[in-house]
Amino acid sequence: MPKTKPKPKAAIPEAIRELRQISEESQQFFGARLRISTRALQIYEMGERVPEPKQLIAFAAYADFVGRPELADLFIEELEQQLTPPPGYVSAVVFKRRDTPVDTTAMEVARITGRARRKR
């Protein structure tokens, strides 16, 4: 079954649209200002997809810049939600044997988790 992106809460698309209206710019110029493609901005404003963390940071920074901390907080809340691991998630670096040093290298993590590439 293909993985689908979750639909955003109604507040996120409205907040993005409100930010753009505050800037009094078209989608093209507003997107260019935040380094987001026009098409991606349209998708975010229509609520078809949730912005990625990089875009949420850009929106939050711009909201703070124009003096709208409540909008910045909304984007930061969504960012925190996206970056919080799901319940039961255990990282290979966190879940390790007692004799494994704290500064585990990528090769060591791969060996511990069984993902090391074997030479032929």
Q: 49-61, pLDDT tens digit by residue? A: 999 999 999 999 9
Q: 85-102, pLDDT tens digit by residue? A: 777 665 554 444 555 444
Q: Where does 11-83 sit in CATH, by number?
A: 1.10.260
User: What predicted TM-score, i.e. pTM, was given to this entire model?
Assistant: 0.66
| Total Cβ atoms within 10 A of residue 99 | 5
Please name the amino acid found at residue 112: I
Task: Single out the residue of 1, 2, 36, 94 nearest to residue 16, CA to CA.
Answer: 36
Contact residues for 58 (Cβ-Cβ < 8 A; gap 6+): 34, 35, 36
- The structural domains of the chain, with segments of one domain joined by +, span 11-83, 85-115
Where do runs of H (alpha helix) occur along the chain? Answer: 11-23, 27-33, 38-46, 53-65, 69-83, 106-113
Binning pLDDT at 50, 70 and 90, where does residue 10 land? confident
